[in-house]
Chains A and B, each alone.
Chain A
Amino acid sequence: MTPPEKEQRARQRRLDPLEELRASTEAWLSQFNIAFALMSIIPLLICCYLITVKFFSLSILAGINGMYFLFAVILALLGLLAGRQVIRTVIRRLLDANERMDRFQTMQSEFVHHVAHEFRSPLAIIKGALDNLRDGLYGTLTSEQVEPLTMSNREVARLRRVVGDLLDIGQIESGKLALHRELLVLQEVLRDVTQACQALSTERGLALELQAPEQPIRVHADRDRLSQVFLNLVTNAIKFTPRGGVQVRLTRNGAATQVEVADSGRGIAREDLGRLFVKFERVGAGDQEGSGLGLAIAKAIVELHDGRIWVESESNRGSHFFVRLPAEG
């Protein structure tokens, strides 16, 4: 494991609320032990004093009703012991329940991971066979045969994306999404992304524009993962914009760099904004295809880069998605 990966794992561990709870409980329990020892020492000393020095002095015993006092001290000690035991048991049970939940979540992510992998091999066969058909390896196709073939190819591509998204979300939830960071020029990443989306925007009759300063803006980031985020934002913008255009704007403000993806689409209702980055929530998707995972994945990737992603939008007034990342140099 390389040092940045180690650092990332360590950060994830620190951020894990369960780990935090477990650590703070352990610390609390040890403090409780010290407090308990301190609290018990005074009655114990009194007991020892009474037993060893004063026990046989009947005048003292009769005077302060020594037997009752001794009884009370023993009861208090037993009460403290029992209380401590109850608290310990309750905390241990809570921790166990949390651990079981944790294990269940890991199992769930592993299951998703396994299932997604199991999908890839049959998908490879279907795709291979369809491509062989399309390329005429089993004979020339009639024009009537081409249409269902194109349809099947499109659906295979869709399945491929869903499997990819499921694997990503599985990795994110199990804390296994590792970044391969390098020094990148953001202009290059955004240029590649807008170029990749050009065909889709032309097909939909939209203008796709990139506005970026000439001075290169550098970030220390994972090229593939960052491209994935911007690709998701731009394709979403195109899909949800019936007319007009999509602008990608890159700006730098001191130590932070900001990418804005703005569209003139139908916008997002105020009450839906909160659900937008939640997995499987397909806000206003209507007939648009998608796994409902893209924005949840984008958010996780941006946050792993110590960045922030948010949206400003109103119904029928377009949407503006922002990604802010720490800039280098």
Chain B
Amino acid sequence: MGVATGKTVLFADDEESMRKVLERRLTAWGCRPIAATNSLDAVRLARERRPDLILLDDTMPGLTGLAACHQLKLGEDTRHIPVLVLTARDSRTLAAEVRTAGADGFLQKPFEFTELLQLIEGALAQPQPLRS
């Protein structure tokens, strides 16, 4: 039983196939997945359902994943939730942007699931800022 078992994980990706792949994997890890099809949906669901962790695709139409992350980190009721960003962009140039947006980590697509699990467990184990 890992740290991720039993945790609610909200994930957002505009590609249906990616959502299916992630949902299957998160379920196999014992998480309770919630799928969002875009960033706005993700921000709304995060406020309503208060998940334990959020996974955001960076390049979604409309609001980008990073912008959504920024909004979540500004929101009083969502700032404590760890956010991980999945990106198809070059990770080396992205590091600074990810830090500015307040994300707790990022992973470049395509990735190994072992890397993702490590990142998720690391983020869940980190003490998060308290809800004010």
A, B assembled together? yes
A residues neighboring B (CB under 8 Å) = 117-118, 120-121, 123-129, 131-132, 135, 137-138, 156, 160, 167, 171, 178, 180, 224
Closest 8 CB pairs of A and B: A128-B21, A124-B109, A120-B88, A124-B110, A127-B110, A123-B110, A125-B17, A121-B88
CA distance in complex: A108, B92 (Å): 22
Bound together, the chains give a CA A316 to CA B105 distance in angstroms of 49
Let me know if A137 and B25 touch, CB within 8 A.
Answer: yes
**Is chain A's interface secondary structure helix, strand, loop, or mixed overall?**
helix
Please give, as numbers and ranges, the residues of chain A lying within 8 Å of B110 by CB-CB distance. 120, 123-124, 126-128, 156, 160
* Chain B residue nearest in CB terms to A176: B93
Decide if B113 touches A131 in the complex (CB within 8 Å).
yes
Closest beta carbon of chain B to A141's beta carbon, Å:
15
Residue contact A120 to B109, C-beta cutoff 8 Å: yes
Smallest CB gap from B87: residue in A:
A120
Interface centre among A120, A138, A160, A171 (most CB of B within 10 A): A120
The reply to whether A137 and B24 contact each other, CB–CB distance below 8 Å, is: yes
Given contacts A118-B88, A125-B17, A129-B21, 17 further A-B contacts (CB under 8 A): A120-B88, A120-B109, A121-B88, A121-B109, A123-B109, A123-B110, A124-B18, A124-B88, A124-B109, A131-B112, A132-B28, A137-B28, A138-B24, A156-B110, A167-B90, A171-B90, A224-B92
CB contact under 8 A between A117 and B17, given known A123-B109, A128-B22, A135-B28? no
Does B93 contact A178, Cβ atoms closer than 8 Å? yes
A260-B18 Cα distance, complex, nearest whole Å: 44
11 contacts between A and B (CB under 8 A): A124-B109, A124-B110, A127-B110, A127-B111, A128-B110, A129-B17, A131-B112, A135-B28, A137-B24, A137-B25, A160-B110
Q: Which residue of A lies closest to B111 (CB)?
A: A124
Task: With CB as the reference atom, state the residue of chain A lying closest to B88.
Answer: A120
Q: Which residue of A lies closest to B93 (CB)?
A: A178
Binding site for A on B (CB under 8 A): 15, 17-18, 21-22, 24-25, 28, 59, 86, 88-90, 92-93, 108-113
Interchain CB contact (< 8 A) of A125 among B21, B28, B93, B108: B21
Chain B residues with CB below 8 A from A123, complex form: 109-110
Complex Cα distance, B89 from A128, in Å, reads 18
Residue of chain B at shortest CB distance from A127: B110
CA distance A180 to B93 in the complex (A): 10
In the complex the two chains form, what is the Cα distance from A224 to B59 in whole Å?
25
What's the nearest-Cβ distance from chain A to residue B10, in Å?
A: 18
CB of A149 to closest CB in B, whole Å: 15
**Most chain A CB within a 10 A radius of its CB, from B88, B108, B111:** B88
Q: Give the chain A neighbours of B89 by CB distance below 8 A.
A: 117
**Which residue of chain A is the closest to B108 with respect to CB atoms?**
A120
* Contact partners of A129 in chain B: CB under 8 A: 17, 21
Complex CA–CA separation, A118 to B21 (angstroms): 18
* Distance, CA A126 to CA B89, complexed state (A): 17
Bound state CA distance, A135 and B117, in angstroms? 14
The residue on B at minimum CB distance from A180 is B92
Question: For A132, what are the chain B residues with a Cβ–Cβ distance below 8 Å?
Answer: 21, 24-25, 28
* A118-B86 Cα distance, complex, nearest whole Å: 14
Residues of B close to A128: CB separation below 8 A: 18, 21-22, 25, 110, 113
Question: Is A121 within 8 A of B21, CB to CB?
Answer: no
Question: Could you tell me the distance between the alpha carbons of A120 and B110 in the complex, rounded to whole angstroms?
Answer: 6
A123 to B21, CA, bound (A): 12
Task: Point out which of B18, B108, B109 has the most chain A C-beta atoms below 10 A from its C-beta.
Answer: B109
- Indicate if the CB atoms of B28 and A121 lie closer than 8 Å: no
Q: List the A residue with the shortest CB-CB distance to B28.
A: A137
Contacts of A117 in B (CB 8 A): 88-89
Taking the closest CB of chain A, its distance from the CB of B92, in whole angstroms, is: 7
Min C-beta distance of A128 to chain B, whole Å: 4
